[in-house]
Amino acid sequence: MLALPTGRTPLELYRELVARHARGGLDLSCATTFNLDEFVGVAGDDAGSFRAYLDRHLCSKVRLAQSHFLDGAAPDLDAECERYERALADAGGLDVALLGIGTNGHVAFNEPGAELSVGTTKVRLSRETRLANAAFFGDEPSRVPLEALTMGMGTILAARELVVMAFGASKREAVKRMLSGKVTTEHPASLLQLHPKVTLYLDAAAAP
């Protein structure tokens, strides 16, 4: 039971998983996956969706037991978030959540703010996040949706194990705050310090 991220950070990991699978050294047929997040108003078959991203980089290339996605084009978004939480619970909860972090400290699309949601929810994306995701929308930040659906911080922290990846100098400050010994909703990654089993993978540039 895996939660999977999108974005630039996990690309090398997905390439490696696909390569090992192709060589016959990796069996993922028992793995069930749940995408962490999705843009609101973007259907799964839209090339800019996170569902399409995961299909492209992993799901179409390896044999998985099942893959679950949030539907950003669902008519009732609250019901969609509830459906996702139920599907997670019915499947027995997450074993491992693979996570990237945003330069602003977001985890999945849990953005910095006065409050964070425990469960899967609809959020408003920050300007910084919309800029960082412009590549999915023809390099036009204005075309990046204003809202997204995301697994909540509680859903993520309930995973039995977290694997966090951060690469490149642009992530160094976010990593530093993530490891500060203090938690704040203004830096969602800092809450990961509350989890008993976290493995952090950094390259030299991202290491504080």
The residue nearest ligand PGA at its CB is 7
CB nearer to ligand PGA: give 14 or 84.
14
Give the interface with ligand PGA as residue ranges (CB under 6 A).
Answer: 7-9, 100-102, 106
Q: How far is the CB of 27 from ligand PGA (least distance, A)?
A: 27
Q: Which tokens belong to 111?
A: 């953005």
Catalytic residue set? 37, 104, 106, 111
Q: How far is the CB of 3 from ligand PGA (least distance, A)?
A: 12
CB nearer to ligand PGA: give 19 or 131.
131
CB nearer to ligand PGA: give 100 or 145.
100
Q: How far is the CB of 106 from ligand PGA (least distance, A)?
A: 6
